[in-house]
Amino acid sequence: MNSTFRAALPVIFAVTALAPGLALGQDTKNQGYLVDQNFNVVTAVGGTVCVRTSDWTPARAAAAEAAGLCDKDLVSKPAPAAPVSTPTPAPKKEAPKPAAKKEPAKAPPQKINFSADALFDFDKADLKPAGKAMLDDLTRVLQGAKYEVILAIGHADRIGSVQYNQKLSVKRAEAVKNYLVGKGIERNRIYTDGKGETQPLTKPGDCKTTNRKALIACLQPDRRVDVEVSGTR
């Protein structure tokens, strides 16, 4: 007997009796479907419908070997494979470039004002003990420091002639230089200048007294030596 029915049959069969030459569900691989003696699933409607037995269930149909032929809609479709995400390679870290060597920053000139009364007696260019002590302090500050030049600028008050005051201001600056050299400061790093009475700290309206002693005391700020130290930090 041909395992395929030629007559038009309902799409779903509930088989309760066996036709000659057919076996009922002996093949566990296709449990729930009618198979012939060779364990081939019996089909109908031109081979498009599998004949089900009374113990057919959707679960058995889905697990049957012929499920792809008989009940394609019950075969669980494999879930689409998750897209393989290709990890984005981390950007390569460039080796840090060596920092450019910074040139030492120029330090602004440091100006130190030494009044002439502390360094010298009035109308004198010889250093007083108190003035030497002040310059000793400056020498200690300069030890180990990086500096380029030291500029000593002498000044005088307006008492006396312009020419005399100019010479006196230079002598005072030279006295400071010589003392610093004697304390170990390189001579070629010290420059001197004299401004005479041209850069007074007192204002034109100050010190109008006619008393000489009072005038000398009033003009004290103008008698000075300015020391500027320029160097690097």
Instruction: Write out pLDDT tens, residues 149-158.
Output: 899 999 999 9
Domain-wise residue ranges, the chain: 22-74, 106-232
pLDDT digits (tens, 9 = 90+) for 95-137: 677 666 666 555 555 666 566 567 887 888 888 898 898 889 8
pLDDT at 60 (0 to 100): 76
Are 194 and 167 in contact by the 8 Å Cβ rule? The answer is yes
- The phi and psi torsions of 68 (rounded to 5 degrees) equal -65, -25
* Digit-coded pLDDT (tens) for 28-59: 777 777 776 677 776 665 566 676 776 777 77
- Which CATH number is correct for 106-232, 3.30.1330.60, 1.10.8.870, 3.40.640.10, 3.30.1360.20? 3.30.1330.60
pLDDT per residue as tens digits for the range 96-107: 776 666 665 555
Start-to-end CA span in the chain (Å):
112
What pLDDT is recorded for position 180?
93
Separation CA 109–CA 227 (nearest Å): 10
Closest CA to 2 of 29, 33, 30, 42: 42
Among 12-21, 77-86, 154-163, whose mean pLDDT is lowest? 12-21
Read off the tokens for 170.
């230079």
In degrees and rounded to multiples of 5, residue 128 shows phi and psi of -85, 160
pLDDT over 90 (residue 192): yes
52 - beta bridge partners? 33
Instruction: For residue range 63-77, list pLDDT tens digits in order.
Output: 777 767 776 666 655
- CA atoms of 1 and 22, how far apart (whole Å): 9
Measure Cα distances from 10 to 7, 43, 44, 161, 170 in Å.
10, 12, 9, 142, 133
Question: Is 70 exceeded by the pLDDT of residue 215?
Answer: yes
